[in-house]
């Protein structure tokens, strides 16, 4: 698998670097300067083959203040937050949390998201929880498949699951939706939500 070489990413400085590093650290509750680039994280990441930057390279970009570059990569979307890396990091850095922070920044700055299917998937799951407070897998899966335009790509496994009673036709719903609404409104007010991508 061809990796892009972060040394080829031109260092661009516009005076905002330090602030962006601070924001990333704050959102992730981490301190990227603790990373000594030992590569343990990348060595153990089960998805490294499918990433364009290795996890340690993403962190390196943040260290260098190149957050605006880091938020463009596929890696932050491929990362599933499995914590294989942070369990082994000698400096106890929560790498997954840094990916979370960069993902948020990518959405907020409206950069082009290279893994559209993954982002769309997250949005449908979000929608399902938004509507009923619980996740209805059937609903989310159907919407996702319609959205990708590859309706029949996974139909066999879908039918298998339906037959074994693994997908519910009638969505469950929580009773006190007032609390749920309060949670959702609170966070909607505080950020520019997904609008940049819709």
Partner 1 sequence: MSEINLAYYPGCTLSSTAKEIDIALHQVCNTLDIRLTELPDWNCCGSSSIHAIRPQLAVSLAARNLFQAQSLGQDLLVMCAGCSNRLRVASNRLSNDSTTRRVNQEILNNQLDKDLKVHHLLDLLPKRLNQKPWADALEKKLNGLSYVPYYGCLLASPPELNNYPKLYGSMESVMNRLGAEQRAWGYHAKCCGSFLSIARPDIVEPMVADIMNNAFMAGAECIVTACAMCQLNLELRSKANKQVPIFSIVELLAYGMGSSDWQNWFSKHLIDPLPLFENKRLN
Q: Does 153 bind ligand SF4 (CB under 6 A)?
A: no
Structure tokens at 48: 């490294």
Q: Which residues bind partner 1 (CB under 8 A)?
A: 27, 29, 46-47, 50, 78, 80-84, 86-87, 89, 92-94, 96-97, 100-101, 103-104, 107, 115, 117-123, 125-126, 129, 133-137, 141, 144, 153-154, 157, 160-161, 164-168, 172, 174-176, 179-180, 182-184, 186-187
For residues 20 and 34, give the distance between their C-alpha atoms in angstroms, rounded to a whole number: 17
- Among the listed residues 123, 117, 146, the one whose alpha carbon sits nearest the alpha carbon of residue 196: 123
Diameter over CA atoms, the chain: 58
Q: Does 35 bind ligand SF4 (CB under 6 A)?
A: yes
CB 128 within 8 A of CB 135: yes
Q: How far is CA 159 from the centre of its chain?
A: 28
CB of 84 to partner 1, least distance (A): 5
- From the list partner 1, ligand SF4, none, which binds 167 (C-beta under 5 to 8 Å, kind-based)? partner 1
HSE value, Cβ hemisphere, 13 Å, CA-based, for 2: 1
Q: Pick the piece of the chain touching ligand SF4 (CB under 6 A) from 31-39, 111-119, 132-140, 156-164.
A: 31-39
CB of 23 to ligand SF4, least distance (A): 19
């Amino acid at each position: 698998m061809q990796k892009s070489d972060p040394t080829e990413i031109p260092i661009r400085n516009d005076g905002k670097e330090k602030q962006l590093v601070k924001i990333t650290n704050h959102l992730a509750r981490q301190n990227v300067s603790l990373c000594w680039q030992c590569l343990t994280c990348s060595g153990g990441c089960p998805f490294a083959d499918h990433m364009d930057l290795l996890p340690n390279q993403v962190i390196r970009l943040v260290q260098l203040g190149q957050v605006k570059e880091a938020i463009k990569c596929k890696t932050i979307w491929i990362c599933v937050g499995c914590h294989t890396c942070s369990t082994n990091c000698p400096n106890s850095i929560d790498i997954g949390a840094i990916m979370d922070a960069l993902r948020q920044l990518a959405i907020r700055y409206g950069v082009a998201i290279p893994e559209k299917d993954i982002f769309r998937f997250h949005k449908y799951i979000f929608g399902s929880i938004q509507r009923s407070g619980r996740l209805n897998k059937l609903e989310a899966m159907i919407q996702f498949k319609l959205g990708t335009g590859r309706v029949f790509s996974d139909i066999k496994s879908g039918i298998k699951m339906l037959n074994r009673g693994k997908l519910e036709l009638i969505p469950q719903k929580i009773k006190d939706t007032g609390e749920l609404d309060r949670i959702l409104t609170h966070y909607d007010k505080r950020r520019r939500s997904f609008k940049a991508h819709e």
